[in-house]
Amino acid sequence: MPRHTILSLKKLKRDGEKIACLTAYDASFAAQAERAGVDVLLVGDSLGMVVQGRDSTLPVTLDEMVYHSASVRRGAPDSLLVVDLPFMSCNNPQQTLASAGRLMKEGGAHVVKLEGGAAMVESVALLAHHGIPVCGHLGLLPQSVHKLGGYRVQGRSEAEAECILRDAQALERAGADLLVVECVPAALGERLSQSLSIPVIGIGAGAACDGQVLVLYDLLGITPDKPPAFAKNFLSGRDSVMAAMAAYVEAVKHGVFPAPEHCFD
């Protein structure tokens, strides 16, 4: 069993202790993250951009997610592993169930993550029925980047915020165990965390979320292009990757990251 479980993360939320999450794509970095005290590792389809050099997450395949998940699991056997269902691997509930089964059986995932709100409720319910833990993903949805018109902040209008809140509540009712919310105003991140009983993990969603997640390469300051506004280079001024990861964990746990300059109004 991993050091953390769905139940222990919910206890952290109830106790007011922040959850530190980080993406990982291979065994070596995953091992460093585990030793640095990261609570949850996310094998994100962001690997399409930061590992493969693509301009979006869309080309990433299920086979690639299985491969990277298994690599991370070998490097960090005691970490709770959340793995993305990639684009077009969850078009209907039965396909979602089959894809999630592969991530768990072949990739060693403990939790599967999927993007979308009300349209994914039936799939979430089916996964929960089969004992598969689910992490939802709302706000900026990278797999829908072309529909959204680019990588931009979501939920700024009251109507958009209400829609995201309704979607979050619907996912929780369907059986979701965690929620990632990306690129939304800090006030909406706080509202989501207060409204849901499941942990809400923010990325560009303000300091009031129950936890934070960053892309590993953004944390290390080695993203090829301009880093996102919500990211911080934790390697700057430190002499090792593990020291940077540990500093990130400490900053999240003490509520000093994200700072106001990493949040959206």
d(CA 117, CA 143) in angstroms, rounded, equals 13
d(CA 246, CA 258) in angstroms, rounded, equals 15
Residue 258, preceding bond cis, omega within 30 degrees? Answer: yes
Q: Which residue has the tokens 């403990």?
A: 110
d(CA 157, CA 166) in angstroms, rounded, equals 14
Provide the token pair at 83.
């793995």
The catalytic residue among 34, 115, 172, 182 is: 182
d(CA 32, CA 114) in angstroms, rounded, equals 26
To the query of whether residue 182 is one of the catalytic residues in this protein, the response is yes
d(CA 94, CA 51) in angstroms, rounded, equals 30
Sign of CA dihedral 213, 194, 206, 11: negative
Q: Which residues are catalytic?
A: 182
